[in-house]
Structure 1
Amino acid sequence: MSRPLHRVRVVGTSGAGKTTFARRLARALDAPHVELDEVFWGPGWVKRDAEEARAELRARTAGPRWVVDGNWDSRLDGALDHADTIVWLDHPRRTVMARVVRRTLWRGLTRRELWHGNRETLANLRSADPHRNIVLWAWHHHPVVTERYAARAQAPGSDVVRLRGPRAAERWLRALETGARRRS
């Protein structure tokens, strides 16, 4: 990889493994990690005021190095335009669907807190509203995310690293981690 990896944004469909990948990447780069869901969701699954959330995000990404995961494109309003690289976890729909179903069931059964007291519930799986049912959200948004980042990846001078599938993502990350260990 020839581009610098100082300010990295990790994107992909729900269930692609953005947060897990971003945490590992942040460790390899010795950079802070920021999860956009934590920034934009408030207690009770209420979306935070967009400007307040963007101000927090700008403060948390003011340093020279960081890794941010999440999409939230409709609320960013340029707050992450200073990223030097976008890593797109472009996994097949069947992969992300299997992952998001497993993750949602596990979170619902364990009642694990995500951020600000928020927890996923199994009851949400019965909802036909994609804004309440993360599995439906992932299904409906997979082609939207694919279209958005495919267009960006094809643009001249693109800042997108497209990792097609979990194996490609793992290979890329391991190579980076190995390089980081050699430098230390």
Structure 2
Amino acid sequence: MTAAPPSPCRILVAGVSGVGKTTLCREIERCSGIPHTEIDALFHGPGWIPRPEFSADVACLAAGGSWVTEWQYDAARPVLAERADTLLWLDFPFWTVTFPRVVRRTVRRSLSRQKLWNGNTEGSLRTLFTDPEHIIRWAVASRHSYRERISALAETAPQLRVLRLRHPREARAWVSTVWPAGTDAKDGPRR
């Protein structure tokens, strides 16, 4: 009989913009008690300017005993991957799941002028066709980038258990299998 793998305690969630990385991180935090640090909040300063403390904050996060965060930003990816034990790759169908999500989220945030990280708000929908870094355009342009990044992890982070989840129901099933209902998240992460 083989032993079940230990419960993860340093978790990365990867995927294209709008796929639901932060939502899954929050669900993991709720079910497990593992603290979630939103990587966008560490990266974006006021006026969407990258925070100078970003690299130091990422190193501090990575050094922690347990955490869950989004696997984003080139400066953060290798530091986090080196310490993580699990990477959840949300590789959902782009045009039927992810694209509608990123459009809905962007429209909602733009129209409501929702405050995001450090006082920033989503850009205007009018810039969709003029700004090459508009979040909707970014999601379309970068939708295939994770295949190469994640395949490279076998060499750069061999300790990392990579799970490719192809539909939101697979992500929900993974969480409920690792932290079954009825577990008291207040007791902290299980190790």
Q: How many percent identity over aligned positions?
A: 38
Q: Distance in 2 between matches of 1:134 and 1:60?
A: 26
Work out whether residues 31 and 65 of structure 1, in 8 Å CA contact, stay in contact via their aligned partners in 2.
Answer: yes
Q: What is the match of residue 21 of structure 1? A: 24
Any gaps of 5 or more consecutive residues in structure 1?
none
List aligned pairs for 1:26-175, cutoff 5 A.
Answer: 26-49=29-52, 52-72=53-73, 74-76=74-76, 78-80=78-80, 81-94=82-95, 95-123=97-125, 125-131=127-133, 133-152=134-153, 159-175=161-177
Closer, same or farther in 2 for the Cα pair 1:158/1:69, shift >3 Å?
Answer: closer
Count of residue pairs brought into register by the alignment? 180
Closer, same or farther in 2 for the Cα pair 1:117/1:167, shift >3 Å?
Answer: same
Shift of 1:174: 2.3
More strand by share: 1
Q: 1:181 aligns with which of 160, 177, 183?
A: 183
Shift of 1:134: 0.4
Q: Which amino acid aligns with 2:31?
A: A
Work out whether residues 54 and 79 of structure 1, in 8 Å CA contact, stay in contact via their aligned partners in 2.
Answer: no
For 1:34, what is the secondary structure of its paired residue? Answer: coil
Shift of 1:157: 6.1
Q: Which amino acid aligns with 1:82?
A: R
Closer, same or farther in 2 for the Cα pair 1:134/1:124, shift >3 Å?
Answer: farther
Closer, same or farther in 2 for the Cα pair 1:153/1:18, shift >3 Å?
Answer: farther
Shift of 1:3: 4.4
RMSD, matched Cα: 2.5
Moved more, 156-165 or 92-101: 156-165
Q: Distance in 2 between matches of 1:64 and 1:180?
A: 24
Work out whether residues 58 and 76 of structure 2, in 8 Å CA contact, stay in contact via their aligned partners in 1.
Answer: no
Q: Distance in 2 between matches of 1:88 and 1:66?
A: 16
Shift of 1:122: 2.7
Q: Distance in 2 between matches of 1:119 and 1:153?
A: 37
Closer, same or farther in 2 for the Cα pair 1:77/1:67, shift >3 Å?
Answer: closer
For 1:87, what is the secondary structure of its paired residue? Answer: strand
For 1:121, what is the secondary structure of its paired residue? Answer: coil
Q: Which amino acid aligns with 1:146?
A: R
Q: Distance in 1 between matches of 2:75 and 2:158?
A: 25
**Structure having greater relative contact order (Cα 8 Å, sep ≥ 6):** 2
